[in-house]
Structure 1
Amino acid sequence: MKQAAYDLTTELVHHSYQPPADFVSLLPPVHKASTVVFPNVAAMRERRWLDKSSYTYGLHGTPTTYQLEERLCTLEGGKQCLLVPSGLAAIASVSLSLLKAGDEVLIPDNAYGPNKSLTEAELVQWGITHAYYDPMNVADLAARITKRTRLVWIEAPGSVSMEFPDLPALVALCRERGVISALDNTWGAGLAFKPFDLDGDGSHRLGVDVSVHALTKYPSGGGDVLMGSVMTVNQALHMRLKLTHMRLGFGVSGNDSETVLRSLPSIALRYRAHDQGARELARWLQQQPAVAQVLHPALPESPGHAHWAKLCGAANGGQGAAAGLFSVVIDPRHSQAQVDVLCDSLRLFKLGYSWGGPVSLVVPYEIETMRARPVPQLQPGTVVRFNIGLEAVEDLRADLAQALAKAFG
């Protein structure tokens, strides 16, 4: 019996055409959905999304997001990955999942500022206490871990001041004390070192429990996507995080996932280019009279260089890996107004937060307002952070030279 004809508008909504299924291209297709359609009620009742074996709702995953999660696991050496709308959302989801009233979290004093703000302004309202530790002193962390400590955040290197801690020693201490360690691995990006294999020999005897990554930076590489990830190797810990992720309603768009998937094949090439440019300019800035100190983990004079060399020095055929980020301390004989002139006079370097994209960036900081304690490893002066993009190093050096001359004579 011939099916009754539908109104044109209904036919356009419920069109019967399905394209053939054997189309294969170099890049994964983009699947965008909130509603996922089931073939029958039995399938609706039986499908499970927690093990990524099927699909139930767009928020719980699509073929596109599953692909991105698996490729990110390959990048960082993890086994399970969750995608969230930003790097800060990744940090928040970990703290919200693993902490409850009465618990304590320890944070390095040089941590990413929004992590500290989240803890001070939000977690404290839920009865979660915190303390800041000196990341360059393993004994200080050991003294601060109590029976209430449930989570220790680690950064390598520290935000803005770029100190590189003894990451394996910090993680080993957390494991010895039975405390979960969570690393902000945005700088390392899965390329400088493997967060779940800190011995670097494939044994996985020592590694962090959780790695969070601002995919906004190097995985995206374009300065046009906000996204983060939470990665683990322990299945029970992953499920705990995944259920919180579901309850918070975190999700990412198919188009943003496609952008990161498209950028991932070139991440190692881009990371190396950022690294090489940053090292060359950092060494050049060490010779400039207005600069009192250059903070770059690959420079022998930078705080924690020996820790960086031990953990990251074998990458890139023995040249090490160090991203494209560094800071300088401007000599205190120069005023803040002069430092502002330096930043405002740059032409290729743009004033802007974040990093990892093709455009070089600069930001001046008041480091004293960002720390709970003095920073003895830093020289006195004003801190300025540079993100080195993908421009020609010669052009960036010329830009820095003319801005230095304008600001400091």
Structure 2
Amino acid sequence: MAKARQLGWKSKLVHSAAKAPDGFSSLITPVYRGSTTLFKDAASVGDTWRQDEAAYTYGLYGTPTTLELAARIAELEGATHTFLAPGGQAALALVNLAFLGPGDHVLIPESIYGPHRLVGEGLLRKFGIEVEYYDPLIGEGIAGLLRDNTRVIWCESPGSVTMEVQDLPAIARAAGGRDITIAIDNTYSAGVMFDAFRHGAHVTLQALTKYLGGHSDILMGSISVRDEARYARIGEMHQMLGMAVSPDDCSLVLRGLQTLGVRLERLEASCLTIAKWLEQRPEIARVLHPALPSSPGHATWKRDFTGSASVFSIVFKDGYAEKDLLGFIDALTLFRIGYSWGGVTSLAVPYFHVQRQHRAYGSRLVRLNIGLEEVEDLLADLEHALETLPKAL
């Protein structure tokens, strides 16, 4: 019998027999990186995104780290399947491309996330898809906008910047019995303060960049579904677009999930305190926070939501110029200037001339995100900045 050949040292670098001992147990999900997935034999080789059929075929479709995160999001949202995408905007584009084709009609609330409007104008129209924007407070009135070629109704509740809370059950009733997918950007609720599936959605989406990540250090999106047909449509498009996510980033979202409950409680309490304080300020005409009775769609929020979050907008009174409000933001010290929300740091961003036919606020709108700083410190920061505004109006 021939003596087994000893591998050369360069081969041992690739094919090592050395292994760590078994028995390690940790509270933390391991980070599994990998593009190539190994099969047990040649007959098992196959390229499928369906993890329910073959758990691992290629790193593009997930590692144990990414699939655990997807499963945990599905569990929280009451979905059967969740897909991950490189960002919230990528997730929005994926859903649109999965359910829309040339000649189809899509309804999008005018209060949609700004980059989603870019997808509608710059991508969907290019592919011959009819894009129509509607009043987010339309409710059952959306029946009047439905066409034979309507294939998707988008919702975002509360809406971006102007914070309208949509009556999703009414919209679902109006679209009932038709071949229409109702998709909702449910980022504001972190997937836990509003049960989108129970209220009529077929597809839910989150920017995990926000509350689930929680620390302003990752970009990721999720798409969750319940029914097999839509699972297949999204999975096939996910594969074709190659929307892989980093297992390292997934590990950060898994970390964020552990503190999501306590963060949301603290953010809600701080945000409400500040929003109510701002309602009493003479410089402010209106506070757009869903938990306040004066905010559009408040009754629907009270009926359907179990809590509120950290982001809201303030409308300044007539008479202030754009430069005055820019000066107000620049005078803030704890509130940093930057997009996104849901992290630990308070933020302020101007939103002048937001595209709205309904409830337009001109150059008077500033959006705030409340972080984990002490409420008293944030109130003092806001008071100081408000006092820099011109007094005679």
TM-score, normalised on structure 1? 0.92
Residues of 2 paired with 1:221 and 1:279: CA distance?
A: 19
How many Å apart are 1:8 and its aligned residue?
2.1
Q: Which amino acid aligns with 2:223?
A: V
Superposed, 1:202-221 pairs within 5 Å as 207-221=200-214
How many Å apart are 1:17 and its aligned residue?
2.0
Superposed, 1:107-122 pairs within 5 Å as 107-122=108-123
How many Å apart are 1:351 and its aligned residue?
0.5
Residues of 2 paired with 1:374 and 1:72: CA distance?
A: 34
The equivalent position to 1:391 in structure 2, one of 373, 376, 380, is 373
After TM superposition, the structure 1 stretch with the greater mean CA deviation from structure 2, 136-145 or 321-330, is: 136-145
The equivalent position to 2:223 in structure 1, one of 230, 233, 252, is 230
Contact 2:354–2:362 (CA under 8 A) maintained in structure 1: no
1:329 corresponds in structure 2 to 315
The equivalent position to 2:330 in structure 1, one of 337, 344, 356, is 344
Q: Which amino acid aligns with 1:24?
A: S
How many Å apart are 1:380 and its aligned residue?
6.4
Q: What is the aligned length? A: 390
Task: Determine what percentage of the aligned residue pairs are the same residue.
Answer: 41
How many Å apart are 1:291 and its aligned residue?
0.5
Contact 2:49–2:61 (CA under 8 A) maintained in structure 1: no
> Deviations 1:115-141 (Å, cap 9, x if unpaired)?
111111111111111111111122442
1:255 corresponds in structure 2 to 248
After TM superposition, the structure 1 stretch with the greater mean CA deviation from structure 2, 10-19 or 171-180, is: 171-180
Contact 1:135–1:141 (CA under 8 A) maintained in structure 2: no
> Deviations 1:1-30 (Å, cap 9, x if unpaired)?
543233322211211223344422111111
How many Å apart are 1:46 and its aligned residue?
9.4
Q: Which amino acid aligns with 2:348?
A: V
> Deviations 1:148-187 (Å, cap 9, x if unpaired)?
1000000111110011121211122223444110000000
Q: Which amino acid aligns with 2:26?
A: S
Superposed, 1:367-378 pairs within 5 Å as 368-371=353-356, 373-375=357-359
Match status 1:152 vs 2:153 = yes
SS of aligned partner of 1:351: coil
Residues of 1 paired with 2:48 and 2:337: CA distance?
A: 49
Residues of 1 paired with 2:381 and 2:135: CA distance?
A: 36
> Deviations 1:238-295 (Å, cap 9, x if unpaired)?
1111011001000101100100011102112111111111100000001111101000
Match status 1:400 vs 2:349 = no
Superposed, 1:112-151 pairs within 5 Å as 112-151=113-152
Residues of 1 paired with 2:160 and 2:221: CA distance?
A: 17
Residues of 1 paired with 2:343 and 2:82: CA distance?
A: 23
Residues of 2 paired with 1:48 and 1:284: CA distance?
A: 50
- C-alpha change, 1:136 and 1:45, in structure 2 (3 Å) is closer
How many Å apart are 1:208 and its aligned residue?
0.5
Match status 1:66 vs 2:52 = no
Superposed, 1:6-405 pairs within 5 Å as 6-45=7-46, 49-51=50-52, 53-198=54-199, 207-312=200-305, 315=306, 321-366=307-352, 368-371=353-356, 373-375=357-359, 382-405=364-387
Residues of 2 paired with 1:52 and 1:65: CA distance?
A: 17
SS of aligned partner of 1:406: coil
- C-alpha change, 1:45 and 1:251, in structure 2 (3 Å) is closer
SS of aligned partner of 1:130: strand
After TM superposition, the structure 1 stretch with the greater mean CA deviation from structure 2, 78-87 or 5-14, is: 5-14
Q: Which amino acid aligns with 1:383?
A: L
SS of aligned partner of 1:122: helix
SS of aligned partner of 2:82: strand
- C-alpha change, 1:45 and 1:166, in structure 2 (3 Å) is closer
Contact 1:292–1:381 (CA under 8 A) maintained in structure 2: no
SS of aligned partner of 1:5: coil
Contact 1:282–1:294 (CA under 8 A) maintained in structure 2: yes
Contact 2:137–2:165 (CA under 8 A) maintained in structure 1: yes
SS of aligned partner of 2:256: helix
How many Å apart are 1:47 and its aligned residue?
8.2
Across the aligned residues of Structure 1 and Structure 2, the Cα RMSD in angstroms comes to 1.7
TM-score, normalised on structure 2? 0.95
Contact 1:77–1:195 (CA under 8 A) maintained in structure 2: no
SS of aligned partner of 1:124: helix
Q: Which amino acid aligns with 1:391?
A: E
Residues of 2 paired with 1:46 and 1:116: CA distance?
A: 34
Q: Which amino acid aligns with 1:304?
A: G
How many Å apart are 1:330 and its aligned residue?
0.7
Q: Which runs of 5+ in 1 are unaligned?
A: 199-206, 316-320
Contact 1:331–1:380 (CA under 8 A) maintained in structure 2: no
How many Å apart are 1:401 and its aligned residue?
0.6
Q: Which runs of 5+ in 2 are unaligned?
A: none
Residues of 2 paired with 1:104 and 1:360: CA distance?
A: 39
Contact 1:329–1:382 (CA under 8 A) maintained in structure 2: yes
SS of aligned partner of 1:386: strand
Match status 1:3 vs 2:4 = yes
